[in-house]
Amino acid sequence: MKIKSVRARVFEWKGKTVPPQGNFCSNAMDLVYSNTESMSTFRFHSWTVVEIETDDGIIGLGNVALAPKVAKAIIDEYLAPLVIGQDPWDYEYLWQRMYRATHAWGRKGVTMAAISAVDLAIWDILGKSVNKPVFKLLGGRTKEKIPCYYSKLYRTDLKEMQDEAQKFLDQGFKAFKMRFGYGPAHLQDGVRENLKSVEAIREVIGYDTDLMLECYMGWNLEYAKRMLPKLARFEPRWLEEPVIADDIDGYAELNAMNIIPISGGEHEFSLYGFKQLLDKKAVSVVQYDTNRVGGITAAHKINALCEAYSVPVIPHAGQMHNYHLTMSTLASPMAEYFPIFDVEVGNELFWYIFDGEPVADNGFLQLRDDVPGLGLTLKTEYLDQFHIID
């Protein structure tokens, strides 16, 4: 079996969107002077879909959400020629070809995300070629079903947030992630607002349910150090990305305070990046995303690394490419889950592009043994609401 063609298309959402409501999630731009458009860097309304076809007619599907147009250019110009004509079963060799050929200017960020998309499509082909779901090629079923946490709860009106939490508590979710709206720029008022929002959610979900707190890199080290003791009474399972991804020492310092476990990794790339985080004990929960970190070939290795360091892996965003790794890895106890919503931040766009995503049932997800590959197909229902760049 040989790879015949690689097609990367950008799906730009042109349909209805929910307008941003104030600062509904702190983020790295909050600390930059004159940031009137902080939320615009945070929302992403397009996605790159990669289809790789083999000479025996199998089509593998991959995807990448970071900087979609740039990712497409990297795939078209640099990655496609490296894999066309090759045997997809040589996936490690192909991964190394892509990684090393782009190393001088790639390594992390959008290049690694583009490599991820190609790698995902290759694994989809492998599964389809032997009629097995990808998780069966990675070690198989390590759990009967995957526990998942409800991920949304952006900072809006507190009553609205409470109603949202109640609705999904009633649907059986036993773990929730909420977002902070405020950071250092909002001074003491913002500190109070942040605490009020966590209190409001705990009021609804109680203390027998897990609660995770997301900063999305919108804080700095000094602010995070002040916040940790104040947040401890709410018993969060983790505090996510308190500082920017490059401040690994900052993560390590916060984690060493041993007040709240610190999580991160959704903006880290490659096996080496994760080794650094683990060596420094910078995170207590690893949250790579398979469509950024180097695809399944890289994520599978990172899982082994995390197992050896006894650090759990709870990948970013959920979605099929991550669920297969969660299912096949004992070190991965849970998945993130974005439900179907109107298009707002962008995570939910996955539902509009692909069919095959499992729907949570009572706080659990199931992967089927009888669906080969990654189990995704392109959805036709919303096609007319996308502008597609071929």
Ligand X SMILES: O=C(O)[C@H](O)[C@H](O)[C@@H](O)CO
Rounded to 5°, the CA angle 165-290-243 comes to: 60
Which residues are part of the catalytic machinery?
316
Pick one of 347, 354, 371, 374: the residue that binds ligand X (CB under 6 A): 347
214 binding ligand X? (CB under 6 A): yes
Question: Sign of dihedral through CA atoms 339, 344, 345, 351?
Answer: positive
- With CB under 5 to 8 Å by kind, the binding choice for 25 among Mg ion, ligand X, none is ligand X
By beta-carbon proximity to Mg ion, the closer residue of 26 and 329 is: 26
Contact of residue 237 among Mg ion, ligand X, none (CB under 5-8 Å per partner type): none
Closest approach of Cβ 255 to Mg ion, in Å? 16
Does residue number 117 form part of the binding site for ligand X (CB under 6 A)?
no
108 binds, among ligand X, Mg ion, none (CB under 5 to 8 A by kind): none
Binding residues for ligand X restricted to 157-176, rule: CB under 6 A = none
Q: Give the contact letters, 72-111, x = binds to ligand X (CB under 6 A), - = no.
A: ----------------------------------------
Query: In the window 20-39, what residues touch ligand X (CB under 6 A)?
Result: 25
At 205, list the tokens. Answer: 């979900």
Count of residues engaged in binding Mg ion, rule: CB under 5 A: 1
Listed residue (138, 179, 139) closest to 26, CA to CA: 179
* 72 or 292: CB nearest ligand X: 292
Question: What is the SS3 string spanning the chain?
Answer: CCEEEEEEEEEEECCCECCCCCCCCCCHHHHCCCCCCHHHHCCCCEEEEEEEEECCCCEEEEEECCCHHHHHHHHHHHHHHHHCCCCCCCHHHHHHHHHHHCCCCCCCCHHHHHHHHHHHHHHHHHHHHHCCEHHHHCCCCCCCCEEEEEECCCCCCHHHHHHHHHHHHHCCCCEEEEECCCCHHHHHHHHHHHHHHHHHHHHHHCCCCEEEEECCCCCCHHHHHHHHHHHHHHCCCEEECCCCCCCHHHHHHHHHCCCCCEEECCCCCHHHHHHHHHHCCCCCEECCCHHHHCHHHHHHHHHHHHHHHCCCECCCCCCHHHHHHHHCCCCCCCEEECCCCCECCCCCHHHHHEECCCCCECCEECCCCCCCECCCEECCCCHHHEEEEC
Among 164, 266, 268, 344, binds ligand X (CB under 6 A): 266
- The yes or no reply on residue 151 touching ligand X (CB under 6 A) is yes
- Tell me which of 11, 176, 216, 354 binds ligand X, using CB under 6 A: 216
Between CA 166 and CA 173 the distance in angstroms is: 10
Residue 151 or 297: the one with the smaller Cβ distance to Mg ion is 151
345 interacts with, out of ligand X, Mg ion, none, CB within 5 to 8 A per kind: ligand X
Q: Judged by CB, which is closer to Mg ion: 46, or 151?
A: 151
CB of 30 to Mg ion, least distance (A): 15
Nearer to Mg ion, 240 or 247 (CB): 240
Half-sphere exposure of 124 toward its Cβ, with a 13 Å CA cutoff? Answer: 28
Partner from Mg ion, ligand X, none binding residue 347, C-beta < 5-8 Å depending on class: ligand X
CB of 143 to ligand X, least distance (A): 21
The minimum distance between CB 359 and ligand X, in angstroms, equals: 18
Q: CB of residue 52 vs ligand X: minimum separation in angstroms?
A: 26
Q: Which CB atom, from 238 or from 364, has the smaller least distance to ligand X?
A: 238
153 makes contact with ligand X (CB under 6 A): no
Using the structure block, give the residue that is written with the tokens 């995704």: 376
Within residues 310-329, the interface with ligand X by CB under 6 A covers 316-317
Restricting to residues 223-282, which ones interact with Mg ion according to CB under 5 A?
240
Q: Least distance in Å: CB of 154 to ligand X? A: 7
Q: How far is the CB of 178 from Mg ion (least distance, A)?
A: 11
Give the list of residues 6+ apart from residue 167 with CB closer than 8 angstroms, or none: none
Residues found near Mg ion in the complex (CB under 5 A): 240
Residues found near ligand X in the complex (CB under 6 A): 25, 151, 179, 214, 216, 266, 316-317, 336, 345, 347
